[in-house]
Structure 1
Amino acid sequence: MRKKLHSLVLVLAILIIYHSELKAQGCVAIRQFSGIGNAVGQGNILEKGEWNISSNYRYFRSFRHFSGREEHPQRVANNTEVINWSHGLDFNISYALTDRAYAVVSLPFAYNERSSLYEHGRNSRHMTYSQGLADMRVGAGYWLLPGEKAKRGNTAIGLGIKLPTGDYNAQSTFYNVGPGGSPEVRPVDQSIQLGDGGWGLIVDTQGIWNLPSNFFLYYDGFYMFNPRNTNGTQTNRARASEAIMSVPDQFAFRAGVFKPISFAHGLGLSLGGRAEGVPVRDLLGASDGFRRPGYIISVEPGVSYMLGNFTTTVNVPIALVRNRTRSLTDIADSTPDNRRHGDAAFADYLINVNLAWRIPKRVKGVFNSVD
């Protein structure tokens, strides 16, 4: 019984941090979301009054160009591909309001580099950069099943707000684009902007269920509504309909199985799949301006280790399907003789590393000698 209980606690600890780095692997720009969804495992681990502190680091390098699901390998062969290097670090703090309700705050930071030929007059390749605070999130959630009813599993639902704290007009130096080929300071590409400039409403869900043979099913996902239409940031793109950056919705869902390793105390392995992306149209508000809609479907292996109140997890989503769908401006500017379909650069894989620390609540006579 104690072994089963330890396994369940281990899996729930993994769920604290498994909703990590939901940032699409390339130019289809999903902002990192390791805070809102992660907290959905904490309601069952944490008792009322307990805290959980976690940090999540993620990295990817995008360089493979796709229009729809068709890859353009000639971009790499001809050295005309766009390359993004993205590093993200989130700090997440959650608090158990009750044994079933929780609150969470997530503070994300990012550092991005972008190497491009076409953005610098198409004569030579140069780099642009962005770094700093990204869009902060606050949220809360609730586990649906109480006490004994949750012995075999549980599902939580949550709501969150994305605050526009990230710079959505981050700028860098572009070469060969000014008068006489001089450099100019311009806004960086949408894919490496630190924020999107909109207040967002996040709806999320997450769950864990006990399966036979000491396996566990996990799942989580979110949809973020971004009602703001455009944010006023210039794109310097040729088409008038794409002159200003859009503020798009975002979504992600993942599910898989987790298996504690019986002969290695605290060790666990997981295998799952995930889908994430940017829709062509927002569910609320208008969808004008420039965006790169699309989605990525990945297989997601992972390994975790739990020691006391500390848990570390590494997972590596590997892209199986990359689809840069047609945007509204692609559709509007197409003719029977010229079907427009923009492209986007995607990564082959994403690396997530997470550390989490559960802080037990104070016990009378143990943590507080005054009580």
Structure 2
Amino acid sequence: MGPKYLNLIINILLVALVFSTSSSSAQGCVAIRHFSSCVGNSLENNLLGKGDLQIGMNYRYFKSFRHFRGTEEEADRVANNTEVINHSHAWDFFLTYGISDRLYTSITIPTVINARSSLYEHGREERNSTFSRGLADIRAGVGYWIMDPQTNSNGNIAVGLGLKLPTGNYNATDVFYNVGPEGSPEVRPVDQSIQPGDGGFGLTIDFQFYQKIATGLFAYGGGFYLFNPRETNGIRTFRETLSPILENEAIMAVPDQYSVRTGLSYSLSNIISTSLGARFDAVPVKDIIGGNEGFRRPGNVLSIEPGIAYMSQNFTLNLNVPFAVRRDRPQSVTDRQTEISTGSPRNGDAAFADYLINFGVSYRFAKSKTVEIAPLLRDTFD
């Protein structure tokens, strides 16, 4: 590994580490589950020399509780203590390997712990909670830098292709109260928003880029789209027991998801970098491939995303906290079908979080022994 290549890696580490927490999911009930790109949205983790190995973990937490229909918040839900509250914890354990200086491959093994508190799922008489935990859907993929990183240090773009495996439990169950015969408890599948898996094979495409603007200042961006061809997974929602008009929502759908983000990153020192950007996370109303029957909560979130990162040799830490500035729960396919059949307007609701906490840690095993870099070489892309 030559000095020029090491210089490139060090400086991109400093200005792009804040991009390395790859928990790109819509917030709250809109997100069917925690998900990120199959090869990660991390510039730093994906800029590897041939034979380099990067291992790490990304953690995400949110609490969703603010209900929206369209872009209008139903503030009375919190005031009247009728809101649905999700607490979601997710850990992505990943490994990325540099096949060459431009081609890399990655595998992500996610685990989740979720809790959901509500009234309407327990006979509307008392608040109770349901839980889920365990392995989620494993992702694997490959990515490729379009230009040679060693000769294009001021900017580059990578594209990736990945596969999502249905390894997560999509029929996790728990006890629901006051819903069985004569108000007895009954074991049922937990809500779609806290199921660890979705039950379908998925295909992802993704991209990421960086571009120097000035000394120490870079623009970054990226995103992914998850294609889920399977229409429904056969798991009953029991929503039809709440109202006859919810018959179209009796079975869980397997929806697409996507996320895009962009922003600016600035190097404060040789070990600290900050960023400020925007991100858009969504579960679309309709899938690109496959049908659109079954129950889903389409929705999207626009967030402002500040971040900070720390690097010491091959060890990195980063923290990103996206704050929602616009939340939207659009009319779903089943909402529209119900509206047409009944003649009455219908738009389901969804609960969203105010913010997410994304924290990442990683360590790089370089194939070539790292040599001491002269201070002059640590200047950002001179």
Q: State whether structure 2 residue 261 is matched by structure 1 residue 257.
A: no
Which residue pairs with 1:9 in the alignment?
13
Give the alignment partner of residue 53 of structure 1, picking from 46, 52, 55.
55
Which deviates the most, 141-150 or 219-228? Answer: 141-150
User: For 1:278-297, what aligned pairs fall within 5 Å after superposition?
Assistant: 278-297=283-302
The one-letter code of the counterpart of 1:72 is E
Which residue pairs with 2:248 in the alignment?
241
Q: State whether structure 2 residue 140 is matched by structure 1 residue 135.
A: no
The one-letter code of the counterpart of 2:203 is L
Where structure 2 has 5 or more consecutive residues not aligned to the other structure, the ranges are 241-245, 371-382
Query: 2:39·2:143 contact (CA, 8 Å) conserved in 1?
Result: no
The one-letter code of the counterpart of 2:137 is D
Fraction of identical pairs, as percent: 51
Q: State whether structure 2 residue 271 is matched by structure 1 residue 269.
A: no
Q: State whether structure 2 residue 315 is matched by structure 1 residue 313.
A: no
User: For 1:1-371, what aligned pairs fall within 5 Å after superposition?
Assistant: 6-15=10-19, 17-18=20-21, 20-34=22-36, 36-38=38-40, 41-42=43-44, 45-147=47-149, 149-238=151-240, 239-262=246-269, 265-335=270-340, 337-363=343-369
Q: CA deviation at 1:324?
A: 0.3
Give the Cα separation in 2 of the matches to 1:217 and 1:132. 37
Query: 2:135·2:168 contact (CA, 8 Å) conserved in 1?
Result: yes
The C-alpha deviation readout for 1:242-282, integer Å capped at 9, x for no partner, is 100000000000011000103xx301110000001111110
Q: CA deviation at 1:149?
A: 4.4
The C-alpha deviation readout for 1:322-357, integer Å capped at 9, x for no partner, is 000100010011148511000000000000110011
Which deviates the most, 6-15 or 178-187? Answer: 6-15
Query: 1:60·1:347 contact (CA, 8 Å) conserved in 2?
Result: yes
Give the Cα separation in 2 of the matches to 1:221 and 1:98. 23
The one-letter code of the counterpart of 1:275 is F
Query: 2:319·2:360 contact (CA, 8 Å) conserved in 1?
Result: yes
Query: 2:15·2:217 contact (CA, 8 Å) conserved in 1?
Result: no
Where structure 1 has 5 or more consecutive residues not aligned to the other structure, the ranges are 365-371
Pair 350,50 (structure 1): closer, same or farther in 2 beyond 3 Å: same
The one-letter code of the counterpart of 1:9 is L
Give the Cα separation in 2 of the matches to 1:303 and 1:81. 33
Residue 339 of structure 2 aligns to a residue in which SS? coil
Aligned alpha-carbon RMSD (Å): 1.9
Query: 1:34·1:106 contact (CA, 8 Å) conserved in 2?
Result: no
Pair 312,148 (structure 1): closer, same or farther in 2 beyond 3 Å: closer
Pair 283,271 (structure 1): closer, same or farther in 2 beyond 3 Å: same
The C-alpha deviation readout for 1:185-213, integer Å capped at 9, x for no partner, is 00000000001000000000011111114
Which deviates the most, 26-35 or 73-82? Answer: 26-35
Give the Cα separation in 2 of the matches to 1:96 and 1:48. 5
The one-letter code of the counterpart of 1:341 is N
Q: CA deviation at 1:23?
A: 2.2
Which deviates the most, 49-58 or 146-155? Answer: 146-155
Pair 90,303 (structure 1): closer, same or farther in 2 beyond 3 Å: same
Q: TM-score, normalised by structure 1?
A: 0.93
Give the Cα separation in 2 of the matches to 1:148 and 1:88. 35
The one-letter code of the counterpart of 1:10 is L
Q: CA deviation at 1:13?
A: 4.1
Query: 1:248·1:282 contact (CA, 8 Å) conserved in 2?
Result: yes
Query: 1:47·1:96 contact (CA, 8 Å) conserved in 2?
Result: yes
